[in-house]
Amino acid sequence: MAKQYPQDGPGTPPANTLLQSLHDLPRGPTGEILTNMLPTPDTSHVSFNTIYEPSEDSFLLLDTLSSTTEVTWLRKRFASKTPYLVEVGTGSGVVIAFLTANAEQVFGRPILSLGIDVNANACHATKETVRKATAEQTAGSLYLGSITGDLCSSLLPGSVDVLVFNPPYVPSEELPALPGLERKYRDKFEHDSHLLALTTDGGEEGMETTTRLFAQIPYLLSPSGVAYILLCAQNRPEAVKSWVAEDLPKGPWLSETVGSSGKKGGWEKLQIVRIWNEKAAGNG
Amino acid sequence: MKLLTVNFLTCAVKTCKTSSESYPLHFRDAQLEQNPQTFNPLFIRNILSRLDWSALTTTANELGLTAMLPDHNPADDMMVDSEGATEEEKNRAKDNVISEEVLKKLHTFLVDTAVIEGKLVCGNCGFEYPIKEGVGNFLLPPHLV
Ligand SMILES: [Zn+2]
């Protein structure tokens, strides 16, 4: 779970926010750092034949969403509303389990959560990961379940308060087809390879699936809604953010890089972009 | 899949999005499972304001669980329009506590109960989304995408 905080570079947050997340962590009564202590959910039951294994990107999401700046921002945003959180592409379920089990620490209150994945195996794995992570909790966050689906196509418009997406972001020659009910495979290898490719391959610039999700964001989010999207350097995050500001419908939308890792030649390998709207939420 | 999930789902078919018949989806041949969880009255009270009561009532009727749900959202009794309300009405609203019995029923309905097998059906196009081992499948066949 190694992470690096890069110095100023393209797309990094201002230096003071970085310092804050390093030094100004919330502390408990005896001075212990709270959010860094949050346990990573156990995924030892998950078979990674068709499911993405928790990696640097998954851990960057956990670190970012439990960082002081995000915790402070989220608690303010949802001070008077139980947030409904949707994670798209849950894979093993490590992220949604973390956010459901640690909702009190992250959001300041219990949440409602729903997982979506295109692979039914991932949905079953996620259910178990959440069950294990929340077994000890009495705070009462409610994980509604996991559904198999193509991004957010079956979600009620205007309902989602927190959207989390770790997309298939690796540039690839082809975008793998969605697993249809009628799809036949030659053998298990072809089946497993196809499902695994869906977790990583993002087509042109690694953005084909992410672009489809962006198109759903304006209709999906509630007035207080916020989306956290993971991007890699090849996705051209700065261009994506300009596009969000200028061209995403029902704007104006704000975006900010709120977490990054793996600096390489002045560029972060990975970053988390927060996208939100100030129109109705009255949040500064 | 918890019953409350249908409060947040609609038909995935594009042409159904504009039809009011595509929400809520309707349970068919639903097999329910009870999995008792810790009762947290504050959590139930906090989520009341975000429930779509008429959609939930439809769901409860379809599952034969009408008795679990009060005929209107108890949160409505707590809210008084500050413009038109008299002092007396405002005080009454403040004192109006949702009974533990009502909250416990809601907890059973919203938190403890899940659908493990069955279908969710769109009232507009009739498409049936299967639920297997608690996981609903909303992937559409190619001709409907
Ligand atoms: Zn339909």
Domains and CATH numbers, chain B: 3-144 (2.20.25.10)
Q: Is the pLDDT of residue A198 over 60?
A: yes
Q: Rounded to an integer, what is the distance from CA B37 to the centroid of its chain?
A: 18
Q: Please report the pLDDT score of residue A28 as a whole number.
A: 56
Asked if B84 has any chain A CB less than 8 Å from its own CB, the reply is: no
Residues contacting A37, CB < 8 A, separation 6+: none
Q: State the pLDDT at residue B129.
A: 97
Per DSSP bridges, beta strands B135-137 and A142-148 are parallel
Contact A145, A127 (CB under 8 A): yes
| B54 shares contact with chain A (CB less than 8 Å) | no
Between the CA of B121 and the centroid of ligand 1 the distance, in Å, is 8
Structure tokens at A134: 């929340």
CA distance A253 to A241: 9
Closest residue in A to B138 (Cα) is A149
Instruction: Identify all chain A residues contacting B142, using CB atoms and an 8 Å cutoff.
Output: 180, 182
Tell me what the mean pLDDT of segment A218-239 comes to.
Answer: 96
Task: Answer for the pair A98, A40: CB distance below 8 angstroms, yes or no.
Answer: yes
Are the beta carbons of A123 and B111 separated by less than 8 Å? no
Straight-line distance from the first to the last Cα atom of chain B, in angstroms, rounded to the nearest whole number: 24
Q: Which residues 58-77 of B are in CB contact (within 8 Å) with A?
A: none
Reported as half-sphere exposure (CB side, CA atoms, 13 A), residue A26 has a value of 17
The CATH architecture of the domain made up of A55-277 is: 3-Layer(aba) Sandwich (3.40)
Q: Is 60 exceeded by the pLDDT of residue A283? A: no
Indicate yes or no: CB of B142 within 8 angstroms of CB of A145: no
Cα angle B31, B36, B40 (rounded to 5 degrees) comes to 125
**pLDDT of A254 above 70:** yes
Contacts with A144 from chain B: Cβ below 8 Å? 1-2, 4-5, 8
pLDDT at A85 over 60: yes
Given a contact cutoff of 8 angstroms between Cβ atoms, the answer to whether B116 and B133 are in contact is: yes
Please check whether residue B36 touches A, CB under 8 A. no
Tell me if chain B has a CB within 8 Å of the CB of A158.
no
Q: Across the interface, which of A146, A156, A179 has its CB nearest the CB of B135?
A: A146
- What value does the mean pLDDT of chain A take? 86
pLDDT in tens, B90-118: 665 555 678 899 999 999 999 999 999 99
Q: Do A180 and B11 touch (CB under 8 A)?
A: no
In the three-class reduction of DSSP (H, G, I as helix; E, B as strand; rest coil), residue A35 is classed as helix
- Residues in chain B closer than 8 A to A138 (CB atoms): 38, 40
Q: How confident is the model at residue B79 (pLDDT cuts 50, 70, 90)?
A: low
Residues in A touching B132 (Cβ below 8 Å): 120
pLDDT for residue B88 is more than 80: no
Encode pLDDT of A101-112 as tens digits.
Answer: 999 999 999 999
Q: Is the pLDDT of residue A181 over 70?
A: no
Distance from the B10 Cα atom to the nearest Cα atom in chain A, whole angstroms = 5
B24-52 average pLDDT score: 94
User: Taking CA atoms, what residue in A is nearest to B140?
Assistant: A180
> What confidence score (pLDDT) does residue B48 get?
94
Query: How far apart are the C-alpha atoms of A263 and A271, rounded to whole Å?
Result: 10
Residue A80 forms contact with B (CB below 8 Å) = no
- Bigger pLDDT: A281 or A111? A111
| C-alpha span between B49 and A243 (Å, rounded) | 35
User: Does pLDDT of A279 surpass 80?
Assistant: no
Q: How does pLDDT run across A229-248, given as a tens digit for each residue? A: 999 999 999 999 999 999 99
Length of chain B: 145
Residue A215: band (very low, low, confident or very high) from pLDDT cuts 50, 70, 90: very high
Q: Which residue of B has its CA nearest to A153?
A: B12
Asked if the C-beta of B139 comes within 8 angstroms of chain A's C-beta atoms, the answer is: yes
Tokens coding B10: 């609609």
Does the beta carbon of A209 lie under 8 angstroms from any beta carbon of chain B? no
pLDDT tens for A133-173 read 999 776 679 999 999 999 999 999 999 999 999 999 999 99
Element (H, E) at B10: none
- Single out the residue of A41, A143, A106, A218 nearest to residue B111, CA to CA: A143
List the single residue in B with minimal CA-CA distance to A150: B139
Do the Cβ atoms of B35 and B115 come closer than 8 Å? no
CA angle B128, B132, B137 (to 5 degrees): 50
| A216 CA to centre of ligand 1 in angstroms | 18
Q: Is the pLDDT of residue A255 over 80?
A: yes
pTM of the model: 0.88
Amino acid of residue A161 = D
Helix, coil or strand: residue A257 = strand
Q: What is the ipTM of this complex?
A: 0.91
Q: Which chain A residues touch B2 with a CB distance below 8 Å?
A: 142-145
> Which pLDDT score, from 0 to 100, does residue B75 have?
86
- Provide the shortest C-alpha distance from residue A67 to chain B (in Å): 25
Q: Is the per-residue pLDDT at A280 higher than 70?
A: no
**B90 and A CB contact within 8 Å:** no
Which of A104, A127, A144 is the best mutation test for B, with the most CBs of B within 10 A? A144
Backbone angles phi, psi at B142, to 5 degrees: -50, -35
Please give the full DSSP string across B73-127, using - where no structure is assigned.
-HHHHH---TTT--HHHHHHHHH-PPPHHHHHHHHIIIIIEEEEEEEEE-TTT--
Residues 6+ apart with CB under 8 A from A43: A53, A54, A92, A93, A94, A125, A129
Domain parsing of chain A, residue ranges = 55-277
Question: How far is it, in rounded angstroms, from Cα A86 to Cα A84?
Answer: 7
CA of B65 to the centre of ligand 1 (A): 25
d(CA B75, CA B94) in angstroms, rounded, equals 12
- Chain B residue closest in CA terms to A80: B46
